[in-house]
Amino acid sequence: MSISAAEVQKIAGLSKLRLEGDELERMARDFNGILGFVAQINEAKTDHAPAIDHPLGHINADRDDTSVPSIDQDAIRAFAPKFEAGFFVVPRVIET
């Protein structure tokens, strides 16, 4: 598989990047180098390799899901400058 300069331009447009001239060709070469490396990995013989979840053999340290009492809303309300209908009221930070 090979990525053309036109495909790189399309990807750049979707990413809101502006690539021009030499940058476009260099990025196409970089993409193709990465795809070549991935193709090499796909050729590796892994038929008899054991499946592993973590390269260092670590396992998740899970804990039991247990229900515990939460903080009372009255206690939370005491710390909030403005609290309405069970929610914190904060100033608008994003303009529409």
**CATH number of the structural domain spanning residue 28:** 1.10.20
- Shortest CA distance to 24 belongs to which of 33, 36, 12? 12
- Cα–chain-centroid distance for residue 74? 37
Inside any domain, residue 12: yes
Inside any domain, residue 48: no
Q: Is the pLDDT of residue 57 over 80?
A: no
How high is the pLDDT of residue 92? 86
Whole domain around residue 11: which residue ranges? 5-42
Mean pLDDT of 25-43: 92
Q: The whole model's pTM is what?
A: 0.47
Is the CB of residue 8 less than 8 Å from the CB of residue 31?
A: yes
Total number of domains constituting the chain: 1
- Shortest CA distance to 4 belongs to which of 42, 12, 37, 18? 12
Q: Is the pLDDT of residue 38 over 80?
A: yes
Inside any domain, residue 95: no
Q: Is the pLDDT of residue 16 over 90?
A: yes
Mean pLDDT of 45-73: 83
Inside any domain, residue 32: yes
Inside any domain, residue 13: yes
Average pLDDT of the chain, as a whole number: 87
Inside any domain, residue 86: no
